[in-house]
Every structure is written in structure tokens, then in C-alpha cells.
Structure 1
Amino acid sequence: MQLVRDAFIDALTKLEVFRVKGPDDLTIRAAFLPYLGKQPRGSIILAPGRSEYIEKYAETLAALQTRGFNVLVVDHRGQGWSDRLGANQYAGHMDSFAKAGIHLNCAIEAVSDRLTGKKIVLSHSMGGCISLEALLSGTISNIVGAAFCAPMWGLIGPPVMGVIAQTLVALGLGKHVAPTLPKVWHPEPFEANPLTHDQKRFARNNALFLAEPCLQLAGPTNGWINQALKTLASFTPERLATLAIPILVVSAQAEALVDNHAHVRVVSQLPHAQLHIVPGAKHELMQEIDALQQQFWGHFDTWVETVLT
């Protein structure tokens, strides 16, 4: 774990953090990590998941930099140190996944001259929903390939979840945390967590939340659920057939948050996509124990070599 800790701290010290204003004057926080060698292999645009933030990905950033890439990463619209979208900063709200994609593109444009070489998207969970929508709509362009880690292309939940969320949004409760979900963030026992088998990485991420309460995010709002389901429903065979770039999808076999069946469906409808499953892994593949995390990176390394040649 010492090497992991060193890579984590080293990546944080080299991050160039900046803010980007979107068309609606809200800002998001982004960071650029340059490749320090002579010639980068290309550039990675890293889109994290729900409730995540740049610092959580320091180890991933270091791994990508070591692989020869410049990296851009963001705190998505409404979370991390980006502007929040409601009066309650702890409510996990999203007004539009399409707007989140526009904000992501604003960050890309802000450092476009430094994103040298071929550009590749790497996203996790909710970031996979945002980036797929942005690619399908043409919000982000000049991308040669996209890798998705446990993407949020379907949600695990009761069948009535969408109807309830839509009804509550219509009643003016869109920015309220959805019924039965936590109204505040609190540390989850490691034994019950659906994210990772790695106790040290799990404790590290909890420690970051505890040290910076403004990063904390509770359950998703009714509006978040409503917007998420609308966006997921828009991933139709007709739209997916238009995305002609190489696609990698890696699913976690012990998944409890996103619907792995949706990965199978979407991959079958994309022209140039491949799907791999990491046996026994939980949702956060890039935060898993070394043996499982290395399986993810093995799939990524093999795939990215074909994309870059």
C-alpha cells in the first residue's frame, strides 16, 4: 500500500485545478494532470461517478499518467467542489444529464490545447451515463474511443421508482431527496458496503469525506432519479447505432448499484463495443483490491493499445 499512497500524494501535488463556467453561469471544478515524459500517448478525459470528486481518483490519475497519458478530470455538475444545484447542498440533485455533458465539454475546451494526441473518454458509473449521452448527442467530439467502468446504463430499484419520482417532481419536490434514501451522508460500515473489497481504500475515501464535509452528498433527489431514467430511456438502438468509435465496457460481477443487464443490451446495440466482466468485483472497479483492479486495467490496456494504433 506504500506505493499506492505515494502515487496518490504525488498525483495530488501535480494536479492543476481550475474552474469552468457553463452556459447558465454555474461553475464546475476540474483538474488537469500532464504527462511528464517527452511525448504523451494521448489524453484521457475522466468522468467520475455520483457523489465522487477529483481527489478520490488520485490513484487512478497516477495510473493513467504512468501509462503515458495527459488526464483531465472533473467534479461533475452538482457535486464535489462544483456549484451545487439546490438550497440543500447535501442533496444529490441533477437538473439535466445533458447539461452535465455540456459542462464536461466546457472543461475539455478550457484545456483543449493541452489535451494532445488522440482523446479517449474513461468514465465510471454515473459518469458513464453523462459521457454516453454527450457522445451520442455530439456534445463532446473528436473522441477516438470510450471506456466505461461499471457504467450507469440501468438502475437497480423497485419498478415503481420512476413513477414515484415523476409524481414527486410534478408536486414540486424535485430537489428533495427521494423517499427512503438517506438525507445526510454518514460513514457506512465496511462490511455492508457495495463498492469495494479493499478496506484501506474504502477507509481512505471515507476519511476524505470526513475531513471535507462540503464534499458529502446524501441520497439522490427525486429530480435526479427522474432525469436519470429519462436519459437512460433515450439510449435507444437507433441512437446507439450511430456511435461508431471503439467502446470498452467492464462490468463488476458482484454489482449491487447499476444494472449489468443494461451493459449487455447497450453493448449489443453499439457497432464496435466489447464487454468484459470482472468476477467477484464490486461496483468501484478502479477502487477495488489490487487483484481485481488489475483485471480492469488489463482489459483497458489491451483495448487502448488497439485504439491508439
Structure 2
Amino acid sequence: MAPTALLPESNFDRRAYPDGMDFPVWHAADGWPHRAYRWPAGGVRRGSLLFQSGRADYIEKYLEACDHWHGQGWDIEGFDWRGQGGSRTFTGTLDPDDRLSFDPLIDDLAAYVAEWKARTPGPHVLIAHSMGGHVALRACAERGVVLDALVLVAPMLALNTGHIPRFVASAVVGGAKLARLGRRAIFRDNYANPRRYLRLTASLPRYEDSQYWKRAIPGIAMGPPTWNWIGAALAGDRRIAREGELEGVRTPVLLLAAGLDKLVRDEAIASAAKRLPDAEMKLFPTGRHELLREADENRLPALAAIDDFLDRRAARP
């Protein structure tokens, strides 16, 4: 049953931009414009923290989490992925993110990190959620990105296909693409369905916040993934599972998994934690996919685990 009242779970105003945050435009190597965001810390600085969200996300969903890190002295920045969030409207089209490969996203992140590290003080840490975690880990593995610490929150290292075997899911996607359905969404979304928000978070207030921002900023919302996008995700999953892909990563990694995650496979997260040379994993058995936007019983321990990891692995200057 859904809660009957929308009770705030913190004093932070999740429906307003914090003072001092600005939104410059960052151009990728191919000229693609991205909406970036920067929020310098005041006083004694802890270091530089880059936050990257998941598919169909936008920074407005994570202002509360960024406020937590900003309050500890981190300079916060990052960007909305090409084709989504605030970067979506630059293209002049509101077509779905019809992705055939995640390689452009990996290239974008690697280029941004290089520029960011060159102009900002260390330590340099990257926190990435869901699809962002997929992209971040592959940027380290395939593009040689090195950081002082990397935190992957419910990373999409393998899609959760439920009871459907992986080879069957790949065959279904291949059939849809052969039938020229690749650019079509794989299902119709119903934002009012309680089952939808419970796939993401047990916090109805935070779910309602995300719907508020979609209404407030025309064009920021995206629909369900296309068959092409699912195909690209499955191909990326196979790449991550390939022997030798993760074993050369030179960055300390913390992986957080949600026990009730319906979107990504916890088994793949656990497998990656074992294969990475320097990794830790923490499972939140009652957590849902958006751990940083969960009810406080899971959100606060997740933030505490991240803080502890950064204190140990990203030393203060």
C-alpha cells in the first residue's frame, strides 16, 4: 500500500536549486553540448566530487545527496548524459534516447574527467548511479580513467531480466530490431502506478519530487527505453562480464547493491566486486534501486557507507 501522506524526510528543499549552484555548458569532443553543473564548497575544501546519474535521470533528482557531500566540503560537479536530462533539450528534439552503444557516453565521461582533474584540487572521487555506474566502470577499465576513489550505487553491470534467461532476452531484442522496432519503447509507462515508484524507492515524497521537476522543466522527462537501448545495455553487460575487463582497474571501488532491486542484478555487482583488484561491496537487503533517494532507513546508511569509504580511501589534503 502507498503511504497516505507525503511527509518530508529531511529539511532540505528538494524542489529548489541550492545557492551557489550554476549550470555551464560543456562540449564533448564531437561538439555535443551537455548541461553541466557546478557547486563549489565554501570554507575548507574536502576535495572534488563528480556525480553521474542513471538513465533518464537529471541532476535535480539528486540535489539532496549532493547537499550532503557539499556540506562536508566537497566541490560538486558533473553533467547530464547526452540525450537526456538538461542535455536533452540542446538537440532540438525530444526523441527517445535511441542508443546503439554506450561508447559515446564512455568517451564523454573520460574526456570530462580529464578536464575536471586538470583544473580542480584533489582528491578526485566519482560517485555514479545505475547506468552511470556502468559507464564509469567501463571508463576505468577501457579508457584508463584513474581516480582516488570510485563509488558505484546500484550500478547497472547487468540488467535484471527476471526469470528470462539472458540468451533469450538477447534473442528477443535481436528479433525486435530485425522487425524494425528498435526505436520503439519496450513498454508503456504509467507514472501514477504505485508499482512504478516502488521499483525505484520506498520514499513516495522523493518519487513525487522527481515528478515535480518533470512538470517544472519541459523536455527533461524521458519515457521507457527502446529496444535499441536494451540491446546496447545487454552488449555492455557482456563486455563487463568478459574475462580481463575489470581486472586491470587501478582505482579503489565501493559497490552498493539494493536487495530489492528490480532493474539491475545484484549477482553481477557481487561478481564485479570479486574481480576488481581493490573493491568493497555493501548490500542493503531492504533497499530499492535508487538508494540515494530511498526512505531514510536505507538512504542514511548508504550515505554513511560512502562517507566511511571516502574517509578511508580518499585522504583529505
Specify if TM > 0.5.
Answer: yes
Displacement, 1:90?
Answer: 4.8
**Structure 2 matches for 1:174-185, cutoff 5 A?**
174-178=182-186, 181-182=187-188
Query: Which residue of structure 2 lines up, in the alignment, with residue 247 of structure 1?
Result: 253
8 Å CA contact 2:140, 2:146 repeated in 1: no
2:60 is equivalent to residue 67 of structure 1 = no
8 Å CA contact 2:134, 2:156 repeated in 1: yes
Displacement, 1:55?
Answer: 1.1
Distance 1:254 1:6, change over 3 A: same
Query: Which residue of structure 2 lines up, in the alignment, with residue 162 of structure 1?
Result: 170
8 Å CA contact 1:85, 1:95 repeated in 2: no
CA distance in 1, matches of 2:183, 2:73: 41
8 Å CA contact 2:89, 2:219 repeated in 1: no
Number of residue pairs aligned between Structure 1 and Structure 2: 302
Query: Please, which runs of 5 or more residues in structure 1 have no aligned partner?
Result: none
8 Å CA contact 2:9, 2:296 repeated in 1: no
8 Å CA contact 1:196, 1:202 repeated in 2: yes
User: Alignment partner of 1:9: what SS?
Assistant: coil
Query: Please, which runs of 5 or more residues in structure 2 have no aligned partner?
Result: 1-7
Percent of paired sites with the same residue: 24
Highest RCO, 1 vs 2 (Cα 8 Å, sep ≥ 6): 2
Distance 1:215 1:128, change over 3 A: same
Query: Which residue of structure 1 lines up, in the alignment, with residue 155 of structure 2?
Result: 151
**How does the TM-score come out when normalised to structure 1?**
0.89
CA distance in 2, matches of 1:8, 1:301: 25
2:194 is equivalent to residue 190 of structure 1 = yes
User: Alignment partner of 1:5: what SS?
Assistant: coil
User: Alignment partner of 1:237: what SS?
Assistant: coil
Q: Which shows bigger deviation, 48-57 or 103-112?
A: 103-112
CA distance in 2, matches of 1:113, 1:22: 16
Distance 1:95 1:18, change over 3 A: farther
Displacement, 1:28?
Answer: 1.6
Distance 1:85 1:169, change over 3 A: farther
CA offsets, 1:123-155, max 9 Å, x none? 11110111111111126x341111011000111
CA distance in 2, matches of 1:200, 1:83: 25
Displacement, 1:303?
Answer: 0.9
User: Alignment partner of 2:245: what SS?
Assistant: helix
Displacement, 1:245?
Answer: 1.8
Give RMSD over aligned pairs. 2.4
From 98, 107, 123, give the equivalent of 1:93. 98
* Residue type of the alignment partner of 2:60: E
CA offsets, 1:173-217, max 9 Å, x none? 433323xx12xx542333542111111111111111123341111
CA distance in 2, matches of 1:85, 1:163: 34
Q: Which shows bigger deviation, 198-207 or 111-120?
A: 111-120
CA distance in 1, matches of 2:245, 2:277: 11
